[in-house]
Structure 1
Amino acid sequence: MKLHIQNNFTAELPADPSEINTPRQVEQACFSYVVPKQPSNPSLIHASAEVANLLGLSEEDTLSADFLNTFSGNTVYPGTKPYALSYAGHQFGNWAGQLGDGRAINLTEVNHANKSYTLQLKGAGPTPYSRTADGFAVLRSSIREYLCAEAMHYLGIPTTRSLSLMLSGDQVLRDVLYNGNPAYEKGAIVCRVAPSFIRFGSFELFSSRKDLVNLKLLADFTIKHHFPQIIEEGIKKYLAFFQEVTNTTLKMIVEWQRVGFVHGVMNTDNMSIHGITIDYGPYGWLEDYNSNWTPNTTDREHKRYRFGNQPEIALWNLYQLANALYPLIEDAKPLEAILDAFSADYEKEYLNMMQNKLGFQIKREHDIVLIQSLTQLLERVETDMTIFFRNLSNVTKADNGSTAFNTIKDAFYNEKDLDETILKNWHDWLENYSIRINEEIRSDSERKNKMNKVNPKYVLRNYMAQLCIDDADKGDFSLLNELFEMLKNPYSEQPNLQKWFAKRPDWARDKVGCSMLSCSS
């Protein structure tokens, strides 16, 4: 197994002078060197051949002893020196101060095919940023992270990638719902891959401490290595950087809303400067279309990170990044101009995304009325978002409201909930939809084909992940393999896997891990 190592981050940015691995405040440093804790009996559960290829590794490499030892944290790869990032952040809207990689350890940067990647182990032991935690992760959360990152990639959503999932052979104590009932679970380690793991909170840390020297060092490094398209100098360089981060963050959120993904914990330390989805904790996909739904038990009362609020939270987080970068710019007006444009730009991108979901090639101004009335209708009674939009592609130009209704009615969790008024509203909406698609030049089959490329048939529903976790806990990884392969083709029919194109079963409605999740890992 051969990796082409580069260590730009550790070579060019300041390190913590102390290598004592105890929780503490780390000043004037971007990272701390730390060695993963050796697992007692590591074993490979799964590895992504595609991600391995991105790094210049073969599928055979993933089965080697070197792969097992390197990506379980058992040995340190030659020429590397693992480290944990230092950053701060706002958590649930409140300033939390220094946070950092509490259960993540960056192994190294690698270069392959003129692209750079950072390899990071999640769950490989404590770091100086672990605070009161142990730095480990459990099989339950590791399976969810491993599968979800790859599922998001194949859905076409910017994300970290998953290279490997391993058992550590150790037991880890966790209180799943933070209710005073801890229990031992199997320990596991995921190797995550991204251009970098630099976050909004990386800049917030130095700005909050008025450490302008390191704030500028980090910004210059980030632009040099990750935003080479920025050619401006001085203040304009940092404004261009902020504009790029704003643009990619906006596009990421639009993609989340397209498939009904809810991150669950959009703290500023969980926001990537690359506009990619990172830190898969208490996430979930909408089952029934509910703009107020959040999968995070910690957020149950205020629902700050609910599905419908994700665009507003993204903007709020960008305000915090703007505040952090302000000392490099010292002019609020251009930052405010970028932030002020966010909402209008988002509405434009959202409208375009929804028009694509509905199969509209010709874009009409009044489409927004049809879309707004649809999202209101979807919330009236429990309606499965994924099934509704997928089945809507089967509605034809010749259908009236009644025949179109029969095409989509499987999306309702309980058809008896549809009273006469709601039924009439659905028939009216579908009648209007039929009129609208008759304005399209494309044939029914052409429109269906286009719709099925943006409306997935298969997403990683929480109950599916939980079934996989239950089996894996017994040592059976066949369902994990099945789901991994299925999620690589989420827009394909895959008739042999039709059983997964189904509404959430009743048993999963209130089951821990299916409807309720915590940040516990």
Structure 2
Amino acid sequence: MTLKLNIRDKFNKELPADPLVSNTRRQVRNACFSYVTPRKPSNPSLVHVSPEMINAIGLKESSVSKEFLAVFSGSKVMKGTKPYAMCYGGHQFGNWAGQLGDGRAINLAEVEHEGRNWALQLKGAGETPYSRTADGLAVLRSSIREYLCSEAMYHLGVPTTRALSIVLSGDQVMRDMLYDGNPAYEKGAIVCRVAPSFIRFGNFEIFVAQQDVKTLKELVDFTLKYHYPHLGKPSKEVYLAFFKEVSVKSLEMVIHWQRVGFVHGVMNTDNMSILGLTIDYGPYGWLEGYDHGWTPNTTDSAHRRYRYGTQPQVVLWNLLKLANALYPLIEEAEPLQNILSEYQEELKVAYLKMMKSKLGLFEVDANDQVLVDELEAVLQQSETDMTIFFRELAKFRTEGNSNGLAIVGEAFYDPKGIKSEKATLWEDWFLKYKERLKKELKSDVERAVVMNSVNPKYVLRNYMAQLAIDDADKGDYVLLDEFFNLLKKPYEEQPEHQKWFAKRPEWARNKVGCSMLSCSS
């Protein structure tokens, strides 16, 4: 059976290719990609597939066959397609890293269905010219984390790449999970990632570093043609409008991250989508205790560059690097600087609006910023679960003697520690919150409905992902499927899944995979 996909390749047909076709590590110049064939796995088997994404790319669930497994494990190249790895550079942890590229990702094809373009990309399907010293493979552990999180983020309303399938390769892959000199074999796996495009900030940066303005212009014009066509034909004004729109989309993305308590963990410029999508799920995590200083990435543990509280500022820094990359096409710094300044002002407005929505505040009040600042300060006085706190806060009432501390009590990791000075701080804040709520036009019930639409009840906590990984490693995918379906409805009560609306268990506090994650995660 042949998979009937509407193949409409553009990236590898309209942009310059690396003339070398050997799969050897090398520096690539004057090219946007290199052709490469996925490595054939020894004994592939399907772990899970997303029915939504099967339909999105134009297939039916009945298409999940031996042919499907062959294509999305990398065993077979679809007729009429030429897989490739993209060339890009990037700033990693604030430093220019030179050429990076798709070191363990291979783009199979682009398909069109119902007016949408989808690029299909295998992660973990073998080495490419950009693999450097790595093997281009992935393991089941990291693949499950990417697969589950991609789909969970989509249903949370966060701009994201998606995931179609996860496959076991049948091969063993050596990994030093924490880079501590203790490598071990793990099950190899391949995820099929799906997005309108996988173009990143780094795709543009590499050509500036190589002083290749010709190829830079080709790529920018291609991006405008297929992903920002409403901006018009290429010109200096359109390039500026493009940068502005990327800035707006990136701000929207990171505000959503802050809203749900998501920490990306490795916001290098090569991990920033030109479409404002969350891309590259590595050492990510959700806040357990509300802590602006937390990062899940052990590689970043010393400087905490990518901690939760700085994510919006890191986006700004990354946008500055994108501005530098676009400068040769614009040749004026001031308009680019103006857009970056606008981002800073828009960030303040967007962040306050987001926090007010989490608190159920919709009317204008001059003291709202102070109320939010005071809440964030008191939240960090003690370990307080972010997801539970904001979800339970919807139960607070302006009528009667509503006890705020009691209502959000389940969110505290040490409820007995909320006493004396800490208790007073909380009680003072709840008094101010109650008075502020009285200025709202919505009733308590109406407010709760809106709050529950922006404050999820269920998120993919790291310990949950690790439980699914542990079971899957034994060949049991029941919990993986349970989480996959649970996270499709993160804002609904789902009483049958109530046990997952709970604080991180103590056993997970310092467990590898639950609190400590590396870039191999």
TM-score, normalised to structure 2, is 0.99
Cα deviation, residue 443, structure 1: 1.4
- CA offset at residue 399 of structure 1? 4.6
Residue equivalent to 2:62: 60
Deviates further, 79-88 or 426-435: 426-435
1:35 corresponds to which residue? Answer: 37
Please state how far the C-alpha of 1:434 moved relative to its aligned partner: 1.1
Letter in 1 for 2:469: I
Amino acid at match of 1:144: R
Q: Indicate if the aligned counterparts of 2:224 and 2:234 stay in contact, CA closer than 8 A.
A: no
Rounded Cα–Cα distance in structure 2 between residues aligned with 1:496 and 1:2 = 38
Cross-structure match for 2:172:
171
Q: CA deviation at 1:198?
A: 0.4
Gaps of 5+ in 2: none
Which position in structure 2 is the counterpart of 1:332? 333
Note if contact 2:221-2:234 (Cα within 8 Å) is conserved in structure 1.
no
- Partner of residue 370, structure 1: 371
Q: Which residue of 2 aligns with 1:508?
A: 508
SS of the residue 1:277 aligns to: coil
SS in 1 for 2:336: helix
What do the CA deviations read for 1:280-316 (whole angstroms, capped 9, x no partner)?
Answer: 0000000000000000000000000000010110000
Which aligned runs of 4 or more in structure 1 are off by greater than 6 angstroms? none
The answer on 1:210 being equivalent to 2:211 is: yes
Cα deviation, 1:134-187, whole Å, max 9, x if unaligned, reads: 000000000000000000000000000000011000000000100000000000
> What letter matches 1:51 in structure 2?
M
Give distance in 2, aligned partners of 1:18 and 1:108: 20
Number of positions where the alignment pairs a residue of Structure 1 with one of Structure 2: 519
State the secondary structure of the residue aligned to 1:165: strand
1:362 CA displacement? 1.4
Residue identity opposite 2:326 in structure 1: L
Match of residue 283 from structure 2: 282
After TM superposition, list the pairs within 5 Å mapping 1:306-345 onto structure 2.
306-345=307-346
Alignment of 1:60-99 (within 5 A): 60-61=62-63, 63-99=64-100
Corresponding residue for 2:491?
491
Q: Retained in 2: the 8 A contact 1:398–1:434?
A: no
- SS of 2:61's partner is coil
What's the secondary structure of 2:408's corresponding residue?
helix
Given the superposition, is the C-alpha separation of residues 355 and 304 from structure 1 closer, same or farther in structure 2, using an over 3 Å criterion? same
Match of 1:51 among 40, 50, 53: 53
Q: What's the CA shift string for 1:346-375, capped at 9, x where partnerless?
A: 110111111111011213221111100000
Task: String of CA shifts for 1:201-236, please: whole Å, max 9, x gaps.
Answer: 000000111101000000000000110110254111
The answer to whether residue 183 in structure 2 is matched with residue 182 in structure 1 is yes
Report the alpha carbon displacement of residue 416 of structure 1 after superposing the two structures with TM: 2.2
| Alignment partner, residue 106 of structure 1 | 107
Q: 1:450 to 1:233 in 2, by over 3 A?
A: same
Question: For the residues of structure 2 that align with 1:315 and 1:284, how far apart are their CA atoms?
Answer: 21
- Residue 12 of structure 2 corresponds to which residue in structure 1? 10
SS in 2 for 1:6: coil
Give yes or no for contact 1:232–1:240 (8 Å, CA) kept in 2: no
User: 1:419 Cα shift?
Assistant: 3.1
The answer for the alignment partner of 1:243 in structure 2 is 244
Contact 1:400 1:430 in 2 (8 A): no
Distance 2:199 2:34 in 1: 14
Partner SS, residue 34 of structure 2:
strand
Aligned partner letter, 1:426? W
What is the percentage of aligned positions where both structures have the same residue?
62
Q: How far apart, CA to CA, are the structure 2 residues paired with 1:72 and 1:489?
A: 29
State the shift of 1:435 in Å: 1.2
Structure 1 position 520, deviation (Å) = 1.2
Q: Does 1:21 align with 2:23?
A: yes
- 2:475 corresponds to: 475
Check whether the contact 1:355–1:363 (CA below 8 A) recurs between aligned residues: no
Where 1:45 maps in the other structure, the secondary structure is strand
- For residue 229 of structure 1, what is the amino acid of its counterpart? H
The aligned residue for residue 462 of structure 1 is: 462
Residue number in structure 2 paired with 1:357: 358
2: CA distance between counterparts of 1:363 and 1:200?
A: 37
Q: 2:365 & 2:476 partners in 1: Cα distance? A: 51
AA aligned opposite 1:387: I
Name the SS for the 2:231 alignment partner. Answer: coil
- Alpha-carbon distance in structure 1 between the residues aligned to 2:146 and 2:346: 30
Q: Residue 290 of structure 1: SS of its match in structure 2?
A: coil
SS at match of 1:164: strand
Instruction: Read off the aligned partner of 1:491 and give its amino acid letter.
Output: Y
CA contact (8 A) 1:400 1:434 kept: no
Q: Distance in 2 between matches of 1:406 and 1:434?
A: 15
3-state SS of paired residue (2:365)? coil
SS at match of 1:229: helix
Distance 1:99 1:223 in 2: 23
Look up the match of 1:304: 305
Match of 2:202 in 1: 201
CA contact (8 A) 1:42 1:72 kept: yes
1:69-120: CA deviations, max 9, x gaps? Answer: 1100010011101000000000000000000000000000000011111000
One-letter code aligned to 1:474: K
**Worse-matched range after superposition: 264-273 or 225-234:** 225-234
Cα distance change on mapping 1:399 and 1:169 into 2, 3 Å: farther
1:228 matches 2:225: no
Superposition deviation, residue 322 in structure 1? 0.2
* Paired residue type of 1:390: R
Question: Does structure 2 retain, via aligned residues, the 8 Å contact 1:157–1:252?
Answer: yes
CA distance in 2, matches of 1:461, 1:229: 38
CA distance in 2 between partners of 1:24 and 1:182 (Å): 26
Partner of 1:5, secondary structure, is coil
**Cα pair 1:282 1:295 within 8 Å, conserved:** yes
Alignment of 1:395-434 (within 5 A): 395-400=396-401, 403-434=403-434
* Cα distance in structure 1, aligned partners of 2:72 and 2:234: 39
C-alpha distance in structure 1 between counterparts of 2:224 and 2:168, whole Å: 37
Specify every segment of 5 or more residues in structure 1 that has no aligned partner in the other structure, as ranges. Answer: none
Residue type of the partner of 2:294? W
Match of 1:219 in 2: 220
Matches of 1:180 and 1:370, distance apart in 2: 48
Report Cα offsets for 1:366-407 as digits up to 9, x if no partner: 111110000001000000000000000000112546x12111
Does the CA contact (< 8 Å) of 2:104 and 2:131 recur in 1?
Answer: yes
Tell me the residue number matched to 1:134. 135
Counterpart of 2:131 in 1: which secondary structure? coil
| Pairwise CA distance, 1:439 | 1.3
RMSD over equivalenced CA pairs, Å: 0.8
Q: Is the 8 A contact 2:151 2:488 kept in 1?
A: yes
